[in-house]
Amino acid sequence: MLLAAWGASTAARAAVEGACSHDGRRVALIDGVAWLEPRKAEAEVADGIEDQDKPDAPPQPPIRLSFASFPVDAADVARAEDREEAFRDQGFGADGGGRLELTVKDGAVTRQYLWMSPGVNLSYGSNQIGHYTPGAEQAGRVRGAYRFTPQDGQDLDCTVTFDLALLGDVADAPPLPGVPLPPDGGAPGAAYLALNRAIQAGDVDAMLRLLPADRAAELRKAQSSPEFAAMMAFAKAATPTQVHITGGRQDDDRAWVDFTAVEDGSPRVGVAEMKQQDGRWIMLVESTRDP
């Protein structure tokens, strides 16, 4: 039986090797993370008759196997109440990246989800999907291999072998890195607010000063495009408004700025990951969720 033992299990790095191909595109899978999903409570009474044959011990919960084309911050996923959301948020900053997510129940894959940036979302559910081969059992780890061929459906070809640490309880996750930022976010918070306001105002000169060099170069090049105005309008619409910084943490040249905001008229909470580069703070990625 697989046991969720945090401690030593996370000391060893995940070992992942594989790839997924669809419609002429291919993404390599290089990292991953695994956790136990809460098993839905099953009805104890059916047709008004209490089940007298319930097992003495609950069955093994489903296992979520999440693979990525980018390095995964397993500690960040481990700390999250919603681990699926935390894992997927990490992929938003990986242009051209991909994720393969599998749910293993009773020794078979019952759900498969593939995301390839941009624009590919393939989801498949059944009582048995593809070809799953579990590896040798070890407390706190999940090993095995998975194969999904075009003959299995969706013109999709995936193969992956893996040795993953199994995340434990959220309460046992490693603490956040670094030290707390002041309530206003300090210098990283000020840089994030400046970029947010520049995007909302359509101030391209300010954006060029605040963006990383590579993204500033892309923006400068895009200025000559006939679609530039539409691109700026889209960026503004996709940027949170009414941002209020609530704090965060800083670890050397990295910082995570916490904030509340509004998106599409609804309240949101979010985090902006910042990096100090050439004496200034730049935003790497931001993510928001429901409060």
Structural domains of the chain sorted by starting position, each given as residue range(s) with its CATH number in brackets: 7-39+53-172 (no CATH), 179-289 (3.10.450.50)
Query: Is residue 99 over pLDDT 80?
Result: yes
Model pLDDT, residue 7? 35
- Residues above pLDDT 90, as percent of the chain: 66
User: For 64-86, what is each residue's pLDDT tens digit?
Assistant: 999 999 999 999 999 988 999 88
Section 159-186 average pLDDT: 93
> Across residues 48-77, what is the average pLDDT?
78
pTM higher than 0.85: no
Task: Report the pLDDT value the prediction gives residue 59, as an integer from 0 to 100.
Answer: 72
Length of the chain: 291
State mean pLDDT over 113-126.
90
In angstroms, the CA 92 to CA 118 distance is: 10
- Between 127 and 45, name the one with better pLDDT: 127
* pLDDT at residue 89, as a whole number: 83
DSSP-assigned letters across all residues of 207-249: HHHHS-HHHHHHHHHHTTSTTHHHHHHHHHHTS-EEEEEEEEE
Q: What is the pLDDT of residues 241-258, one digit of tens each?
A: 999 999 999 999 999 999
Q: Residue 258 contacts by C-beta under 8 Å, 6 or more apart in sequence?
A: 185, 245, 246, 247, 248, 269, 270, 271
